[in-house]
Every structure is written in structure tokens, then in C-alpha cells.
Amino acid sequence: MKIIENYNLQQISFWKIGGVAKFYIEVDSAQELNQAFSFTTSKSVKAIVIGNATNLLFSDGLIDVAIIRLGVGFKNINVCGDTIEIGAGVSCQKLVRVCQVNALVGLEHIVGIPATIGGLIYMNGGSQRKTISENVLSVTSINDKGKMIVRTNKDCKFSYRKSIFQSKCDEVIISAKFTLERGSRNKSRKDCLQILKDRNSKFPRKLPSCGSVFISDPNMYNSFGPPGKIIESLGFKGVSIGDAEVSKKHANFIVNKGQAKAEDVLKLVVMINDSVKEKYGFLMTSEGLYINKAGEITPLHLAEV
């Protein structure tokens, strides 16, 4: 187990924003995970397990938290017929590649998402109007008392960008089983290339971001369109606070032009949400999550600025 005190979170933040966490811990086994929880309890500090930090905004300044990450011990992959069992620390890219090698199809939509499987299940992420939950057979987690829990797909209570794990802050997803279909390796490769091409043309790639800031509300979508279109219609493209800027390429992305602070991002989120509420009557919910100075996780739009 690796423990680092006073860890600068900018180095792991996808937004390249954030202050200093009291502890950063990397674990390689369930046993080490238990040890990490004992350590954080002994230090009376909150523990948060993260994936690749692609959906997280860390507070500026000193954060009273121990950030725990799953290391190589959680990157196991086991293919058995049409089923893949995979560690929560495996990247989406790797899972897509394993599927292709084994001519298994169905998860092409996650290509290009820079997340870990644990993080993607927690968020029930996906693209192309699909979510990871569609292929989940079961998810295994461990709680902070060391108890292992196996949930079926139904038990995971998946819905759009939601899973039961968002209400289980004492649990860590350690692995998942996926069911896939046999299919054409070539077609899968072609589909992935097309998806990557589309993503590259639509999303900002050059400046750090955390993907889409706001969730697409079906009612708002049906009446006015997706968040990006609505935010753009209000003239927000290119608007910035400090170095945090509403992307000129896609208005549902906030990019860091260099030295953006968490506070800048949060102020932009409030400014956008207030305008959308005033003009369209909808209060948007954020997809991105904020870790505040006390080590609590809240959606960006509910964070105190």
C-alpha cells in the first residue's frame, strides 16, 4: 500500500484543478483496501475511492480527505464465453480492446470515455444513448467493514447517470461481470473508429475538461434540446471566469485555459444555471461532482460557492 501525505490533486485531476488532499493512498488488494480504511479511521479523515478523476472537481486549498485509488491488483480481466469479469480499475479503452480481441460486441459506445470501469458503473455512464448498465450482469463491492457484496443488475438500481453506489458511500466497487454478444470484430472496430471520429469533432480535446457538465433532462430535451444547445443559445460559448471557460467547441463543456480554480468553475456553473432557469424555466442537474474542503461529494450545481 502506498500512502502519500499532502498530495497535490492537480496532478491526477482531469481538469488540472484542485488543492491538496491530506492523504493519497493506492491499494492493490481487498486486504490493502481494508488496511486503508483502518488507517483513515485512525486518522479521523474521510476516505473517498476514485477512478480516473474524469468526473471530479477537487476544491482549491487543503482538503480534509484521503483519496484512495485502486492499483494494478484491481485490473484483472477474465473472459469466459460471452461473459467478461473485470476489475474496477480497468480502463474503458482496455475493456473495449478485450471485447474486440474476443469478437464480443455491445460496448463500443464506451470507447473514448477516459474512465475506469468502477467510475463508469458508479455514474452509469455511456454514450450513443446507451449506458454501461445494459451489459452489466453483476457488480461486486466491498464495504468499509470488509464485507463483500455481489449485486445483480437489478439490485444496482441503474437509471440515467444513476446507480445505487451513489448512495453507498461506504462501498467500493471492486469488479463487475458483463454479458456481451458474439459479433464481427471488423464491424466493432469500424464502429469504434466512427465513434472516436465523432467525439473528436464534437468535444474539446486540447484543453483539460471533465466531459459534459450538465445532464440532459428528458423534459428539457423534448422542449428545447440538449444542454449544450441551450447553453449556446444564451451566448455562453467562450464566456470565462478566471481561466475557466465555457468551451467554444461545445457549450456543455467547461475547459481550463491554464490556471483555473475550482471556484471559477463553480461560479460559471451557477451563472449558466441561473440563466437557463430564467430563460427556459429548467434547473439543470450537473453530471460532474465536486469534492469540497470537508471531503464531501456533491453535484457541481449544489456546491456552495
Ligand X SMILES: Cc1cc2nc3c(=O)[nH]c(=O)nc-3n(C[C@H](O)[C@H](O)[C@H](O)COP(=O)(O)OP(=O)(O)OC[C@H]3O[C@@H](n4cnc5c(N)ncnc54)[C@H](O)[C@@H]3O)c2cc1C
Locate the DSSP E strands across 94-153: 104-105, 136-143, 148-152
Distance (Å) of CA 28 to CA 8, 24, 77, 85: 21, 14, 15, 17
Least distance (Å) between residue 130 CB and ligand X: 10
Cα atoms in the 13 Å half-sphere on the side-chain side of 290: 24
Contact pick of 125, 227, 228, 295 for ligand X (by CB under 6 A): 125
Residue 296 designated active-site: no
Residue 287 designated active-site: yes
Least distance (Å) between residue 182 CB and ligand X: 25
The rounded distance, in Å, linking the Cα atoms of 57 and 290 is 5
Site string for ligand X, 57-96 (x = CB under 6 A): -------------x-----------------x--------
Applying CB under 6 A, does 262 fall inside the site for ligand X?
no
Region near ligand X per CB under 6 A, out of 46-54, 148-156, 177-185, 236-244: 46-54
Least distance (Å) between residue 279 CB and ligand X: 26
- Determine the distance from the C-alpha atom of residue 54 to the mean position of all C-alpha atoms in its chain, rounded to a whole number: 5
The rounded distance, in Å, linking the Cα atoms of 80 and 244 is 46
Residue 161 designated active-site: yes
Q: Which amino acid is at 298?
A: T
- Helix (H) or strand (E) holding 70, with range, is strand 62-70
Distance (Å) of CA 15 to CA 73, 258, 288: 26, 10, 11
Residues 149 to 168 in contact with ligand X, rule: CB under 6 A:
165
Applying CB under 6 A, does 33 fall inside the site for ligand X?
no
Residues 92 to 121 in contact with ligand X, rule: CB under 6 A:
113-116, 118-120
Contact pick of 18, 40, 47, 51 for ligand X (by CB under 6 A): 51
Q: Which amino acid is at 90?
A: V
Residue 207 DSSP class: S
Binding-site ranges for ligand X (CB under 6 A): 14, 48-56, 70, 88, 113-116, 118-120, 122-123, 125-127, 165, 172-173, 209-211, 289, 297
